Structure 1
Amino acid sequence: MKPTSRRTLAAVITCVAAAAGAAASATPAAAAGAVPVPVPLGGAETALGMELPEIGGRVPLPTPGAPEGPRYVEGRLIPERAVPQLPVSAGLPGAGLRAPLPEALGDDFNHLGLDAPASDLRTLGPGLELDAPLTPPDAQAFGLPGLELPQAGVVTPLLQTVPAANLGAGRGL
């Protein structure tokens, strides 16, 4: 093997290994469906000399699905769902807040916490139903189709989710 071929092969292997490492590090965020977003307030705590709330959130990653194809129905010339609905799965953003509460009698602190986890969101885009202005072939009319009024309709979009939140107070920070 020539030295240039060896160098080329080594470069290709290095690039493949780097791409595999990047894909492996990106997989957990994509697999989770949401990316954590912390809000750093450490500098403000130091500058103000006081305890500030801890704030964080989660931003969902939308993932499109495969639309259902058209279905052929007896008695119609154009299949159902001529323009299919596109499903998209994502989530509502989540948030977390934990704030210190000074105790009225004493020097200790309690905390107030709000946790709104990222919840799943399922959507279907609008679709279109069409039917031709012709009937199926009729044996009584020598196999010719008859005329009818054209039909068109819009399939309404769909949105499904179950949001939740927890509010609580407790001892300590």
Structure 2
Amino acid sequence: MKSTTRGTLAAVITGVAAAVGAAAPAAAVGTVPVAVPLEGAEQALGMELPQLGGQIPLPTPGKPEGPQYVEGRLIPERTLPQLPVAGGLPGAGLRAPLPHVLGDRFDHVGLSTPASDLRTLAPGLDLDAPLTPPSADNGGLPGPKLPEAGVLAPVLQTVPGADLGTGPGL
């Protein structure tokens, strides 16, 4: 292999390793921080602009509970199981300059909504056949009955929060 080819290959491998290493902490946390760069606009306009940032959650699907066989039914419960998904609500942070409206000790107003956990279950389906299980009273044959169908309602669970405050400095 030529030395230029080896150098290019080493640079590519180093870049891939750096990208994987940078993505691992973000995936472990469950959110990806997002910053909105406004420094260039501050310099161009010659004024202090708000600082703005956020967090985008990474949804992770879970393992669904499979169908459960119940005595007396031909079709198992939870024919279409509910899929759990864990993720979060996005977070945001805003700090804006406040020109001493509330006194000399108050230079900014800040609003923070941290990313919060969100657990969900997708809707599911529960069916039962229009036949009873085979019985000895009926000669080992199933008997007729009304069919059953039900929708398992989706579940959404979270606790969002926010913080509003003022203080010195930006």
Please give the TM-score of this superposition, normalised by the length of structure 1: 0.86
Letter in 2 for 1:132: A
Stretches of structure 1 lacking an aligned partner (at least 5 in a row) = 4-10
Aligned residues: 168
Instruction: Specify the SS of the correspondent of 2:98.
Output: strand
Stretches of structure 2 lacking an aligned partner (at least 5 in a row) = 2-7
Is contact 2:105-2:167 (8 Å) kept?
A: no
Q: Identity of paired residues, percent?
A: 68
Is contact 2:106-2:167 (8 Å) kept?
A: no
Is contact 1:102-1:108 (8 Å) kept?
A: no
Instruction: Pick one of 75, 80, 104 that aligns with 1:78.
Output: 75
Is contact 2:106-2:166 (8 Å) kept?
A: no
Instruction: Specify the SS of the correspondent of 1:140.
Output: helix
1:110: which partner in 2?
107
1:22 positional shift: 3.6
The CA RMSD over aligned residues, in Å, is 2.8
Query: 1:13 & 1:43 partners in 2: Cα distance?
Result: 35
Change (3 A) 1:16 1:73: farther
Instruction: Pick one of 133, 136, 143 that aligns with 1:136.
Output: 133
CA offsets per residue over residues 10-36 of structure 1, 9 Å max, x none?
x99998776555433211111111111
Is contact 2:48-2:97 (8 Å) kept?
A: yes
1:172 positional shift: 2.0
Query: 1:105 & 1:135 partners in 2: Cα distance?
Result: 75
Query: 2:66 & 2:139 partners in 1: Cα distance?
Result: 33
Whether 1:126 aligns to 2:123 is yes
Is contact 1:71-1:79 (8 Å) kept?
A: yes
Change (3 A) 1:112 1:136: same
Instruction: Pick one of 127, 144, 149 that aligns with 1:147.
Output: 144
Letter in 1 for 2:59: P
Change (3 A) 1:168 1:28: same
Instruction: Pick one of 50, 53, 69 that aligns with 1:53.
Output: 50
Change (3 A) 1:125 1:104: closer
Is contact 1:101-1:112 (8 Å) kept?
A: yes
CA offsets per residue over residues 34-64 of structure 1, 9 Å max, x none?
1111011111111111111100000111111
Whether 1:160 aligns to 2:157 is yes
1:171 positional shift: 1.7
Which consecutive segments of 4 or more residues in structure 1 shift more than 3 A?
11-22, 104-109
Letter in 1 for 2:32: V
